[in-house]
Structure 1
Amino acid sequence: MKLHPMWQEYPALQADLSASLQLMEKSLKLKNKAVEDAILAMIHSGGKLLRPAYQLLFSSFGSDKDHEKAVALAASIEMLHTASLIHDDIVDHADTRRRLPTIRATFGNDVAVYAGDYLFVCCFKLMADYASSMKSLQMNSRSMEKILSGELGQMSKRYDVDVTVADYLENISGKTAELFALSCFIGAYESGASLRFANQAKEIGQSIGLAFQIMDDILDYSQAADHLGKPVLEDVRQGVYSLPLLMTLKTDRARLLPLLAKKEMMTDADTQAVYQLVQNGQGLIEAQTLAAKYTDNALQAIKKLPETQDQSKAYLYRITEQILGRTN
């Protein structure tokens, strides 16, 4: 089972992530084998599996060393993430993800909705089977609510050239950061760590998630689609304005507004013009500065964690440095 190359330097974690993927496979039992195969293809399409990795690493800090449970909960986290991606692709009318056709592009929106819903069910089944406390199930359901709120918040601000940085941060706190926070919390809490420690882990995950999304938005203005595995600047056409563009709007509003006013009628030349204005302005630098702030918050908090025998603390620090300093 092939995982992302980044895990080769973490063999124990690599083995646990492979076990999580295998459990996800076993959990899929659809009568429609074509759709089941499509979900499996997405699961094995080269995602970094960062959220289950953080869940597994934080599971080393408690006194309960139930390896089977940790792997199962990691699988449930990745199922939740995959379900949200399938639904995102429906809303965004996306045809590709990770360089592969999306489920909606292959089977249509109706089947994609059911596929995402099915993964939500699988997620909760695993959580119900393995979580030792209702607290974890409550956190899971509340996180889903926050993820949805972030998506709805983003939708309500489409084509709004007056959207603020605070609006953007509130939306990505739900849309992206919440699932990182949940992963860290569940890993710590279900391993027997104190609620106080689990909440500290959650805060670390929140900072990581915020930095990760900002970096992802920065990459839209610095990488080509074939590197990212998704259409570059498609968000701009759909009226989703990320941090680099919002920062550039502050200083280059006169040139950006006529382009953005075309909304979904923007041409490739228009989006390229937006791309150049953001690249040539201060928007990218200001966005990088904010991403660095959240990255530093996460790294400083990880430094304060207790030591573990299996190097989980060291791995947390190194992986966080690696993914938040990424260029692809």
Structure 2
Amino acid sequence: MRPALVIIGSTFGDYKTETVIPLATSIEIMHMATLIHDDIVDDAETRRGIKTMQSALGKNTAVYCGDFLFTRAFMLVADMAEVDMLKDLSKAIAYICDSEIDQNEQKFDQTVDVRKYLKRIGGKTAALFALSLAMGAHKAGCDKKLTSKLTNIGKNIGMAFQIVDDILDFTGNEKTVGKPLLSDAKQGIYTLPVIYSLQGSYKEETMKAIEMIDEDSGESLLECVIKSGGLERTKGLARKFIKKALKIKDSLPDGYGKDAITSIIEKQLERKF
């Protein structure tokens, strides 16, 4: 998704394969590095049904591999990026790291609210989506107004993408999603369905369900987020971000890029993994 957005963003300007493809590659390598580090922090054994690096080779090797990928990504970008682009890239990585720290500090905190959750996913996921479209557009010579529109579209797609991910953690097919369901809640990471459930009349029931999550594999918690309307409210918020993205998209110039972005936005609520 992320390298595709770099390429799509570049089609709004002077697309050049020799510069855009390395940029898109650098974004995906960077994303891979963050996933390796995530798996170390979460002590995850599998991702998408495959053994994680830290599980297969140990945490030390995984840390060094993640760091190595970061350096390779920056080396690719440095060969063709202007100072402003490097600054934007550095800011995005800092935002991602800051959000991951927030998530770690908020573990098992049942007072986490919607605002904190949105700030967390804004950095954890949306920042890289926004950067991907922006880097492609910037490198292709798009003006600031168009690049800003694409940045905002990327941010809203990323917000919707992560919210849908958090819905799938409750309702998805384990084999399709590629990880055990309710894995976030079991690690003490309370996403939007749980946050909504804790805020309503099912608060006490939800708190009890969290306490017994290891005993019943999260069945009580799933029941709570459904009965409380937490899942439906979460879907509603995902739709709001999708509508925002579609509204900005309407002002884009017609062409391949606009059509591709439209397709990506419209498919978010239908995602199964």
TM-score (norm 1): 0.80
Match of 2:139 among 180, 190, 198: 190
Aligned to 2:11: 60
Counterpart contact for 1:79–1:119, Cα < 8 Å: yes
Q: Which whole-Å CA distance do the structure 1 matches of 2:252 and 2:216 have between them?
A: 49
List alignment gaps of at least 5 residues for structure 1. 1-49
Aligned to 2:38: 88
Q: Which whole-Å CA distance do the structure 1 matches of 2:120 and 2:94 have between them?
A: 12
Paired amino acid for 2:114: V
**Displacement of 1:279 after TM fit?**
2.5
2:241 is aligned with 1:294: yes
Aligned to 2:218: 271
Q: Which whole-Å CA distance do the structure 1 matches of 2:16 and 2:102 have between them?
A: 38
Paired amino acid for 2:102: G
My pick for the range that moved more, 231-240 or 290-299, is 231-240
Aligned to 1:129: 79
Q: Which whole-Å CA distance do the structure 2 matches of 1:193 and 1:204 have between them?
A: 15
Q: Which whole-Å CA distance do the structure 2 matches of 1:84 and 1:319 have between them?
A: 23
Aligned to 1:280: 227
- 1:268/1:261 Cα in 2 relative to 1: closer, same or farther (>3 Å)? closer
Q: Which whole-Å CA distance do the structure 2 matches of 1:122 and 1:102 have between them?
A: 20
Paired amino acid for 1:181: A
Q: Which whole-Å CA distance do the structure 1 matches of 2:7 and 2:263 have between them?
A: 15
Match of 2:129 among 177, 180, 183: 180
Deviation per CA, 1:22-61, whole angstroms, max 9, x where unpaired?
Answer: xxxxxxxxxxxxxxxxxxxxxxxxxxxx011111001011
**Displacement of 1:258 after TM fit?**
2.5
Counterpart contact for 1:185–1:202, Cα < 8 Å: yes
Counterpart contact for 2:176–2:272, Cα < 8 Å: no
Q: Which whole-Å CA distance do the structure 2 matches of 1:61 and 1:54 have between them?
A: 11
Paired amino acid for 1:321: E
**Displacement of 1:270 after TM fit?**
5.1
Aligned to 2:118: 169
Kindly tell me the number of residue pairs found equivalent between the two proteins. 272
My pick for the range that moved more, 209-218 or 299-308, is 299-308
Paired amino acid for 1:273: S
Paired amino acid for 1:74: A
Deviation per CA, 1:197-254, whole angstroms, max 9, x where unpaired?
Answer: 2122111111000010000001111113212001211211211000011111122111
Q: Which whole-Å CA distance do the structure 2 matches of 1:274 and 1:189 have between them?
A: 45
**Displacement of 1:324 after TM fit?**
3.7
Aligned to 1:69: 19
Counterpart contact for 2:169–2:183, Cα < 8 Å: no
Counterpart contact for 1:159–1:260, Cα < 8 Å: no
Deviation per CA, 1:140-198, whole angstroms, max 9, x where unpaired?
Answer: 11000000111111111111111100000000000000000110110111110112221
Aligned to 1:321: 266
My pick for the range that moved more, 116-125 or 64-73, is 64-73
Paired amino acid for 1:91: V
RCO (CA 8 Å, sep 6+): is it higher in 1 or 2? 2
Runs of at least 4 residues of structure 1 off by over 2 A? Answer: 258-262
**Percent of pairs with identical residues:** 38
Deviation per CA, 1:60-111, whole angstroms, max 9, x where unpaired?
Answer: 111x332111111000010011100010000111111111100000001111
